[in-house]
Amino acid sequence: MPPVERPVQIPVAGVELPGMLYLPEADAGARPAVLLCDAFADERKAACLAMVRLARALAARGFPVLRFDYRGCGDGPGDFRDATVSTRLEDIAVAAECLKAEAGRSRLALGGMRLGAALAARAAQGRADVCALVLLEPIADGRAYVDGQVRRKLVRQMMTAGRAAGHEEADAVDLDGYALGRTALGELRELGLAGARFEGPVLIVQVSFNEAVRRETEAARAALQAGGARTDLITLVLPPFWSRIDLVDTDALDDAVGRWLQDAAAQ
């Protein structure tokens, strides 16, 4: 039988975040519930289908799963420019409690895509109920990530307008088409995996056109190991689906994450 899917509303800071809950038909040994944390801006949109498929695949293996929208993101209430690292971490914490209550589980695995992976690693710190992390193409260095987004915006301006004009307001910065508040930008620059403290098992998934481990992936693994994590690395030869508009078959991702989580849950 396919998993049961139903929408949920997650109350936080006087508003409600929309989420989708994926519940397995049968109890598979009280496996931990899995909270999936989305990527940032356009990467979130491009990776949306892959994240839905991953949620369904994990639920089919017996893991309750919750996907949700942060405040100011997707269908979440509020303005994108007001959403910061701090508000996203608060949203994750509240969504985690909602998932445990809805699924009737006491243990959690936090998973995330790109920026969501860095947020998941930060959110796991100090939580005794988090037993595992699944980090898909994690952002290890927030400053480098922001600089890359700025360069992308300038290149796009050169291609469309013939010059890189940039665009800034008194209280916001245009980050490749997304207005980001100054506080949010500062927090985003400071976000990363350096200093992350988590002593449980962590799966890092690299998605690339070849199996060579990239420098960014090595940096993420080194940072997590320095924080006490027991890391496993899987390299998948797939197109970078978070930066494309075409369909990508991510069955290999679903299978790899599902198998690893089953093993981690059994430990």
Residue boundaries of the structural domains of the chain? 4-140+193-266, 142-191
Could you give the CA distance from residue 167 to residue 176 in angstroms, rounded to a whole number?
A: 10
Q: What is the CATH number of domain 4-140+193-266?
A: 3.40.50.1820
pLDDT at 267: 76
Tens-place pLDDT, residues 32-59:
999 999 999 889 999 999 999 999 999 9
Per-residue pLDDT, 156? 65
Global pTM reads 0.93
Nearest to 200 by CA among 258, 257, 259, 261: 261
Condensed to tens digits (0 to 9), the pLDDT of residues 238-252 reads 999 998 878 899 999
136 neighbors 111 (Cβ within 8 angstroms): yes
Amino acid, res. 225: Q
Phi, psi angle pair for 230, to nearest 5°: -100, 105
Q: Is the dihedral of CA 217, 241, 263, 229 positive or negative?
A: positive
Separation between Cα atoms, residue 252 and residue 226, nearest integer Å: 29
- Token couple for 34: 């899995």
H or E stretch covering 201: strand 201-208
For strands 130-136 and 201-208, give the pairing. parallel
Say how many C-beta atoms besides its own lie within 10 A of residue 246's C-beta: 7
Q: What is the pLDDT of residue 8?
A: 97
What does the alpha-carbon distance between residue 134 and residue 99 come to, in Å, rounded to a whole number?
17
Q: Return the closest-CA partner of residue 260 out of 234, 240, 237, 239.
A: 234
- β-strands 15-23, 65-68: how paired? antiparallel
First-to-last C-alpha distance (Å) of the chain: 27
Phi, psi of 127 (to 5 degrees): -100, 115
Which residues, given as ranges, of the chain have pLDDT below 50? Answer: none
**Alpha-carbon gap, residue 117 to 111, rounded angstroms:** 6
What single-letter DSSP state applies at residue 81?
A: G
Rounded to the nearest 10°, the torsion over CA 8, 11, 15, 17 is -40
User: What per-residue confidence (pLDDT) applies to 179?
Assistant: 84
Q: What tens digit of pLDDT does each residue of 21-35 get? A: 999 987 656 899 999
